[in-house]
Structure 1
């Protein structure tokens, strides 16, 4: 069990230790290690590979830095064009890219005649089709990211499940989490409203939706982190309450 480096309190998980330190001591613990110099640092989104001093894509090292353009010949028409190198060299000029539909051919799914699966958005009710490979853990449930976002905000097609003890549990979770996103640390004032309250184990997996409304099964997240948690980018172990 990890211990708080400041007060020595034993916590049940690394995520719990970070949450404890942010709440009790008002300081975020490092959650990343620089791949260049080895320095530990804090990144709100826990994505960066380098600290500010070592970031190879910062400043003039960035391929998109002003005046960092290069020139090459288009592989289709042969005309010379200018491009920002970024992580790969230029291949086609701008005019050829605009005409891409004429020379890049059909998509893999169209060439191999892969049949799409029809779905109905659980929020807006519109029908849409997806490739079978896109279906994971019960399938694609929403027509767009906007539908997913709206469904998370007001309960969407599961609005009947958001009754009973839900609002009491929601208030308790917000109070427990200090009205702060438990992944990136944003507070209510920074978010501009109350954080969302996310079900760690989804409501749809319960025979009785009301059983999902347990304080131990919910956590406060900002809208961005909530969407990432719903899509699987943030795992349950990263946000489960202490």
Structure 2
């Protein structure tokens, strides 16, 4: 890439832009105006209009810091600064809070909170009715209480992934497991990590689940098992077959 100011050759466009900014003290254009199609520079590379075409800049922008006006409160005569708007009346912040009818009612303020107890630690809580109705697990102080309650209650047959509990693999499993590790050179067949890298032997995973066999020993064949590290084993068990 050739520098448009001095003609120096740079290997990449990024390098040429950095050179121009540092050496010539001027960044090169990186955007094209959507309206006038002129090139311009934007530090964040996000704007779609140049300075001339951007109609909401400066005092045209409602959030312009120099756009505040000074006025006297219609209620207490206090002087304050504000951003002009089309709303009727001009009130300072204190009068707006206190005066009835100046602000729309907040429907959430009219809802009465319900007292209840944390389902784990039994601490007293106040909750909106909407957060209690239909919540089969109850209410909790925080995520910590919720997590502890789940650990104590959503286990075993109460868990949605429960499939009958621990299986008895039988004595035939261990010789097959050892042969599978030897066949796979004690290496994860998914990511390639070996036992030295892992600090332990890989797991041995059943391609077809043991619980799908009437006799668990029929699942223990070398054609139905593969060596996987702990991380890959979890991924495969969760359905990631890549």
Interval of TM-score (by shorter of Structure 1 and Structure 2): 0.3 to 0.5
Q: Larger radius of gyration, structure 1 or 2?
A: 2
Q: TM-score, normalised by structure 1?
A: 0.36
Q: TM-score, normalised by structure 2?
A: 0.36
